[in-house]
Each structure stands twice: as C-alpha cells, then as structure tokens.
Structure 1
C-alpha cells in the first residue's frame, strides 16, 4: 500500500494578509519569511505525517494497491469524499472498479464489488469538517506567531515547548488517535 498526495490543497488555510494583521506587521519586507512560517506550520499539522494525523485542508490523494484488492480497507485519512477506484493492467490502461463504501465515525471503509488481482488505485479527497476550521486557523496563527517572535529554538526566559500551550489546547481534541 502506498499513499500519495496527488493534488495540492484547494485553498489557503490562513492567508498572508491575515497573518500580517495578527502579528501587526506593516509593509512587505517580511512576506517571504512569513510565507515560509505559514507553510511550515501547515506542514507540521497537515496530512498523515502531521501531528494531527489528518488533513487540515481539502486535498486529493491516491492509495496504490499493487497486489490487487479483495477485502475491505479503512482509508488511511479521515473525513473523505469522492472515492473512486481503477484497475491498472500491464500496459498501464485503467478501467473503473466499482466499490462499496461505508462510513464509521470519521473513517471510511471501501471494498471492491468484485475482487481484483490487478493493481488498483483508490482515489479520494480528504479534508476537514467545516466546524473545526476556525480552531485550525487559530492554531496556525498561534504557531506562526510563536515562531515569528522566537526565531531561535530556545529564547531566554521562554518555555522550550514545540508548540505554544494555547495551540496545543486547541489542537488536542482534533488529533486522530490510532487504535
């Protein structure tokens, strides 16, 4: 099984203008630096390798199953939609593969109607429920603000935590816990 992001996020979670307003930064001198902090904060949180274990923006993903597919699988990211599957023959020709899908909480399970011995690519869009977007945006602002003010790993008289405590509290209930 190989999970690959095939489409970038469909929108910015926090635009540069909002970050600049949050930090009270005037002018364009630090736009490049602030943009890198935004991208770093998003990368820290986002996707299967991020600390949340979920997507924080809508993105297209593909799950490659090189040995075919017969049994039900749990898609590796929560909150998914637009699920489809294709088989891929030896010449690289794709053919649609009908699937059955069911949801269980934030997770989606999928299974082919008929098993396939050919390699399969399952495509889907993973995202985040609209009701937690405000909390995610605030967490990104807090992380960017902390990194902007504390440009070194440890500042004098500052806590050496990886994330500001306020951001940790916002993010804690949003983490996906693997059981």
Structure 2
C-alpha cells in the first residue's frame, strides 16, 4: 500500500526556544543548526515509535477494494479522514461521502470500514485514494511529554558531541534513557 506525505507538520513538537533553554544557550549563533537537529530528532522518535507526532496529511493508495470492507491504515495516530476518492476503470474520480465509511481512530493501527458496497470496477493501480490527517495534534503541547523529552535528549547529545555521531543514530550513552521514554508509545509489529 503506497503512502505519501502530502502536508508535512507545520511546526516541530519542540520549539527552538525550548531546545535552547534545555541546552542553556542564550545566543542565536546556532539557531539553524539546532532547528535541523530538532527535525532530525523528531524523525528519529517517529521512526522508533512508528507514529507521527504533529498533525500532517498523508495519502494512502490501494489497488483494490478491501474484500471484507475493512482497511487497516498504515499511518498512526489517525485523527481524521480528509477525503476518500475512488477511481473507476476509466480513471474518473468519485469522492465518497462520509456516510460511505466509518473511521475507527481509537484502534492502533486505525481502521477504516466501508459502509457501502464496492464500486463495479476500480482502475488497476491506485484505484482507492485516502487522504488522512495523522498526529497527536497541531502543536507540541499535544505530543506526549516523554516523546518531547526524547527529542530534547537527542538534540542535546548531538549538539554537545558534534563529531562521531550521525543523525538517525541514538548514541549508546543515552540509548537506555531514550528507549525508556519512547517504549510506551511504540507500535509493535505482530509477526
């Protein structure tokens, strides 16, 4: 099921001023560098927990109509469905009305249940297009505090040790603290 980020988060869950306060930095000399680290740390946390933090819009495609009318959504946590478009065999789009589906956002991962029968024929590829809004909310205060703290810990470690650490890697010296903060929020794979 292909997935594409349509609208990225409008802001980061940790503001530059918060990160600077955490690091006890008064000057603005490294503001751009710190902002880049905040973004990288957010992405690291999102990867670790398999959830997005700040509201963002994603597009999910599916080639066929789900056989039982139920579809598990691959982005979490889902807050709302913006639009569902069905493309017929000739590529003509039809937007499904909200009465045609029900979102179970309480489940993780979220589920979409179609309450109408499937169309006669979908186009061969990407015949079902779902735009959804995922995230804990539109601002950092909506994000669980332990996840915000995990971001600040990563930023502090990367800032203090600019050499020898790559973005996307949790340094072993803080791995236990990072894991303790993110573990309760992680979506685990069932295999």
Q: Which moved more, 1:114-123 or 1:101-110?
A: 101-110
Match of 2:63 in 1: 66
Distance 1:6 1:15, change over 3 A: same
Match of 2:118 in 1: 115
> Are 1:80 and 1:124, in contact at CA under 8 Å, matched by a contact in 2?
yes
Matches within 5 A, 1:1-179: 1-46=1-46, 50-71=47-68, 72-83=70-81, 84-89=83-88, 92-97=91-96, 98-103=100-105, 105-112=107-114, 113-116=116-119, 117-118=121-122, 119-128=127-136, 133-153=144-164, 161=172, 163-179=174-190
| Alpha-carbon offset, residue 79 of structure 1 | 2.4
TM-score (norm 2): 0.78
Distance 1:57 1:162, change over 3 A: farther
Distance 1:12 1:131, change over 3 A: closer
RMSD: 2.5
SS at match of 2:50: coil
Q: Which moved more, 1:120-129 or 1:93-102?
A: 93-102
Structure 2: where are the runs of 5+ without partners? none
**Relative contact order: is structure 1 or structure 2 higher (C-alpha 8 Å, sep ≥ 6)?**
2
Instruction: Measure, in 2, the Cα distance between the counterparts of 1:81 and 1:114.
Output: 25
Structure 1: where are the runs of 5+ without partners? none
TM-score (norm 1): 0.83
| Alpha-carbon offset, residue 9 of structure 1 | 0.9
